[in-house]
Amino acid sequence: MKNPKDYVVFPLDVPDYDDAMGYVETLKEDVGLFKVGLELFISQGPKIINAIRNVSSAGIFLDLKLHDIPVTVQRAFRAASVHKPTFVTVHCDEGGGILKSVAENNPGNTKILAITVLTSLNQDKLKILGYRDEYVNDISALVLQKAQLAKDAGCHGVVCSGLEVGMVKRTLGDDLIAVTPGIRPAWTLVEQDDQQRIVTPAAAVGNGSDYVVIGRPIRDAKDPRDAARRVAEEIASAF
């Protein structure tokens, strides 16, 4: 069984090197992975990965959400894997062919995570985007359909809401890694939130999530280290 803190992914959602490394120094003993997204990676480049590794044994989650024509995504993934992150994300929207192409040309140990449905999306937004009613009325069906594509293509895991992680695990098996964003600890829930489909850390892990992405509740706390430890305690309660 993993240590509760190892479930926690902290997103370094800042563009500044010093700000990012300040959070790394603060949280290096209290989270399992640091997530480097588009903002920080574009701002600082690969050097930020090496800098994190120099001060922390936590894993690197390179959240680039690659989405382009197949050959471009394949080459971008290979370029990203040179830096040996634990995870790199790829969108499912191009279909299983692009995912399979990436999986079959993975040069190292970097695990491929397929993005299913962004946690900022809800029924109204899916309708505007032109999705069929069967998916607009049942987001979980859309998540499962994309997760199945990812598994069949050879991806190591998926990114999905904690609301769907239990269904994904029951249907596709525990071997498929599930990473859940949109996580809010019970002690931070608010009415207005841009994440539309959120759950608590304990609920997500209890339903089968392998990693939970928790940003603002830790980043905006008066004591981020204490907040991270409280999250780990909440996760421990799920066991």
Answer yes or no: 47 catalytic. Answer: no
For the chain, which residues make up each domain, given as ranges? 4-236
CATH superfamily assigned to domain 4-236: Aldolase class I (3.20.20.70)
pLDDT digits (tens, 9 = 90+) for 211-221: 999 999 999 99
Q: Among 33, 13, 56, which residue's Cα sits nearest to residue 217?
A: 13
Share of the chain above pLDDT 90, in %: 69
Catalytic residue among 2, 35, 47, 65: 65
* pTM (2 d.p.): 0.91
Of the pLDDT bands very low, low, confident and very high (cuts 50, 70, 90), residue 112 is very high
Q: Among 162, 116, 117, which residue's Cα sits nearest to residue 7?
A: 162
Q: How far apart are CA 173 and CA 109, in angstroms?
A: 21
pLDDT digits (tens, 9 = 90+) for 57-107: 999 999 999 999 889 999 999 999 999 999 999 998 777 788 988 998 898
